[in-house]
Amino acid sequence: MDSAHVESDLVNVLFTEAQILERIGELAEEIERDYAGKELLIVGILRGAVMVMADMARAFTRHVEMDWMAVSSYGSGTKSSGVVRILKDLDTDISGRHVVVVDEIIDTGLTLSWLTSNLSSRSPASVEICTLLRKPEALQMPVDVKYVGWDIPNEFVVGYGLDYRERYRNLRDIGTLAPHVYS
């Protein structure tokens, strides 16, 4: 879906599909350099990271193994409950493995902080984080993020995997959602 299809729902487009793909390619190159000669497992956080993972995997020029986790800290509301639940765990044993967790956005950092602690307890060789977007103003928990696409303002963004009530995930661009949509 193009942003023109939902133009009245967006305040503005922050990043176009072309900009996103270029930045993901740069992140993939950086990760490849850092893990040269090492086996790598990238772990996507469902559902939002699907687009990032797919495009990042295609940007790699080497073999990369992928796995997925689904975690929730929201319950039925739109604010984090602070309690993290694993809805889908890894299928892969990560002991001794180099793991890069891939997410589409870091907001409060609460879920990702818990998740990296959980994964670190499984004896991996390393655990790093890659996110397409990060909201520094929204962070409530410090999270060490090695690979960041862009830092953005603390605004409600949708597209490229980011949703509002399961809508806009398939928007090719990333844009700021207009308040009239969620008010």
Query: Bridge-partner residues for 67, per DSSP?
Result: 43
Measured CA angle at 66 (ends 118, 45), to 5 deg: 50
53 membership: H or E segment, kind and range: helix 50-59
Q: Which of 96, 85, 95, 87 is nearest to 68 (CA)?
A: 87
Rounded CA separation 178/9 (Å): 5
- For the question of residue 107 being annotated catalytic, the response is yes
Which residue in the list 107, 144, 151, 163 is annotated as catalytic? 107
72 membership: H or E segment, kind and range: strand 65-72
Active site residues: 107
